[in-house]
Amino acid sequence: MPPLAAGTEERAAIMAFVGGMSRDEVEACAGVPAAPTVLDPLPAGDGLGLWRAGVARLSPHAPQCPDYHEGEWRQVYARAMAFLDAFGAQAEALGWTTPELWGVHPMLGTVRVDHCGALALVVGGPVVVITRDAIHHDRHTFRRRPHAPRGIPLWEFG
């Protein structure tokens, strides 16, 4: 395989180490265009473009919500990056929304799990399968809840 593009080595290392991906899986995802810089405005609407831009605003080193412990946040962040590369387009095609994936309570963050999206929680492990109605992690399944309260995107918290 060709070497990773410039600027993606740290992202690849995070995905491999914390996200549980093999180096081959990381390199297979390397063809995905890099996320926009933090200074870029968020795209209008919902979907993969917004998710990439929103996650690009997050730091892999400092949790957005105070409820994450340092080690937990690194796992959540790495899984988010891996999800975008492996399942982002599929999630968009299946109609998953920003709050369903990235939502947190606007005042309490992840303490109110009823407002949390499938990727905001620490539990579960990496995503392995996504369907129209559920996101299956290694150890947990997040099911769509049409009448559940909606949180705000993780990158808007605080």
Q: What are the pLDDT digits (tens) for 88-144? A: 999 999 999 999 999 999 999 999 999 999 999 988 889 999 999 999 999 999 999
Residue that is written with structure tokens 């919902």 in the block: 46
Q: How far is CA 1 from CA 19, 73, 83, in A?
A: 21, 30, 22
**Tokens 């990381």 belong to which residue?**
26
| Better-scored residue on pLDDT, 1 or 128 | 128
Share of the chain above pLDDT 70, in %: 75
Instruction: Please give the pLDDT value at position 158.
Output: 77
CA distances from 66 to 30, 75, 107, 110, 134 (A): 31, 15, 11, 9, 27
| 40 — pLDDT class (breaks 50, 70, 90) | low
Confidence label for 1 from pLDDT (cuts 50, 70 and 90): very low
Pick the residue with more confidence: 145 or 9? Answer: 145
Diameter of the chain measured on Cα atoms: 46
pLDDT digits (tens, 9 = 90+) for 59-74: 998 888 888 887 899 9
Q: Is the pLDDT of residue 55 over 90?
A: yes
Sign of the C-alpha dihedral, residues 99, 136, 73, 108? positive
CA dihedral of 147, 155, 22, 129, whole degrees rounded to 10: 10
Q: Where do the H-state alpha helices sit in 18-69?
A: 23-29, 48-56
Q: 143 vs 32, which has greater pLDDT?
A: 143
Tokens encoding 124: 């579960």
Nearest to 105 by CA among 50, 153, 43: 153
What pTM does this model have? 0.73
Structure tokens that stand for 121 in this block: 């929680």
| In the predicted structure, residue 37 carries a pLDDT above the cut 50 | no
* 71 to 18, 19, 25, 40: CA distances (angstroms): 9, 12, 22, 28
